[in-house]
A and B are shown apart, each in its own frame.
Chain A
Amino acid sequence: MSVVKLSGDSSCPVTPHLNSGCGFPAPNAEIFFLEPYTTLNVFGMEFVIGKTSILAALVSLIVATFFLAAARPRKMVPGKLQSLGEQAYLFVRDQIAREVIGKDGDRFVPFLGSLFFFVWISNLMGVIPGAQFPIMSSLAFPVSLTLMVYATYMYIGMKHQGPIRFFTSAMFPPGVPKAMYVLLAPLELLQLVVTRPVTQAIRLFANMFAGHLLLTTFTLAAYYLLSPSIISGLGSVTSFGVTVVLTGFEMFIQGLQAFIFTLLTAVYIGGSLHAEH
């Protein structure tokens, strides 16, 4: 019996097979750092053009094109595309904006809708054949969105409640014994300024990251174990089955995380509009 080489061995292929004598290449964080195709220099700044950035541009194009095409017919009796666009719009308006913010949530529908569909389709890229990389598993993308969300509700809060009252109303919630404010005020401030944006970004990132890692592991295992031997063959079939089930589960998580991200944004904007009583 030959000695099993470690997966990191330079003589092993990127996706080795059981028969190659290499160990199982358990995927690690390296699978999230894809080789860039090229770099682009814009005003002295290096832009890495890789799978992630191309997929991001593609998602942007898909979402924008879909809604522009769906909004175009403007028929009284809508066709399939127009109907789908209207349902997407109504979902964001009725289930998120009006449900969370209230009647004055209508003016945030474009922002919330853009967030939901941009995040959702970005996530969906994790299971779409050919793409198979969730953009939001690259931390910079959730962070860039969260920064915009953060700026939005900070600005709205200071504009609607006044720059000082916005912070004090958050730090001193009513109905709490006065002595508790010693403990509560710094925590609430930390929550408003740091915890909210960090958790919002990390939640989305971590979910997509973990999902992609899980899917990759079982996909690689299905290939690695594929052989006529009963035990490893059974392992391969099982891994493939798990991959299929996990893909369905992952699609659910992708939609759910997009929804949660947008819902939290709506909650934060609503909190900035109306101070807690």
Chain B
Amino acid sequence: MFNIIAAESEVNILRLPLDELIIGTLAFAIVFFALAKFAFPAISKTLEDRADAIEGGLARAENSQAEAAAMLEQYRAQLADARGEAATIRAEAQAEKAAMIESARGEAATAAASVTERAQAQIEAERSQAMASLRRDVSELALTLAGKVVGESLTDDARARASVDRFIADLEVEAAK
């Protein structure tokens, strides 16, 4: 085709055959078509997707970290609340217990007082009853004794003595009652 420089030998290394120019252009065109149309856009897209995925992953990780931190804070607050509540409940229970003990003690004291009082009243009643009965018996005995002294002969010593003995015995029995 072109013969730029005529070489001395029969071969010219600077010749440019048109068919080789066309073959070279076509061979390159095939490569360029495959790379520009299919391969490089796909590779470029894959690289972008990967960068996105990595960035997205980082963002997600950051998100969940923040979430975890928030949750921890929340748990801490809840724990503090629970502790406060427990303390309040404990204090209330303590107070209630103290009140219960106090009231039980008061009731017991009242009951004891009333039992003592009742016992005392009974003792008092029995004592006055005994006194009244003794007084009545003594007067009756006195009267009986006087009647016996007046009405019966004193000759019968033995009977008189027996009456007195009986009287005294009766007195003793009464006293012992």
Contacts and interface: CB of A to CB of B under 8 A. Distances in A.
Partners in one complex: yes
Contact of B24 (A32, A89, A111, A144): A144
A144 B21 contact: yes
Interface stretch (A133-141, A166-174, A187-195): A133-141
Do most interface residues of chain B lie in helix, strand or loop, or is the interface mixed?
Answer: helix
Interface stretch (B27-35, B78-86, B141-149): B27-35
Please tell me the size bucket of the interface on A.
35 or more
Contacts of B19: 45-48, 53
Interface stretch (A16-24, A57-65, A244-252): A57-65
B11 interface: yes
Contacts of A28: 9
A110 B35 contact: yes
Nearest to B36: A110
A70 interface: yes
B111 interface: no
B20 A52 contact: yes
B11 A29 contact: yes
B50 A148 contact: no
B27 A139 contact: no
Do most interface residues of chain A lie in helix, strand or loop, or is the interface mixed?
Answer: helix
Interface string A19-57: 000000000111011000000000001111000110011
A58 to B, nearest CB: 9
A141 B20 contact: yes
A144 B25 contact: yes
Contact of B31 (A71, A118, A141): A118
A245 to B, nearest CB: 26
Contacts of B30: 60-61, 64
B16 A143 contact: yes
Contact of B39 (A68, A78, A145): A68
Contacts of B49: 74, 76
B121 interface: no
A191 B19 CA distance: 28
A190 B18 CA distance: 25
Contact of A68 (B15, B17, B18, B34): B34
Contacts of B27: 56-57, 59-60, 118
B23 interface: yes
A224 interface: no
25 contacts: A48-B19, A53-B19, A56-B27, A57-B27, A60-B26, A60-B30, A60-B31, A64-B30, A64-B39, A67-B34, A75-B46, A82-B46, A85-B43, A86-B47, A113-B40, A114-B31, A114-B32, A118-B27, A118-B28, A139-B13, A139-B16, A140-B24, A143-B16, A143-B24, A147-B21
Interface of B: 7, 9, 11, 13-28, 30-36, 38-40, 42-47, 49-50, 53
Interface of A: 28-30, 32-33, 45-48, 52-53, 56-57, 59-61, 63-64, 67-68, 70-72, 74-76, 78, 82, 85-86, 89-90, 109-111, 113-115, 117-118, 138-141, 143-145, 147-148, 209
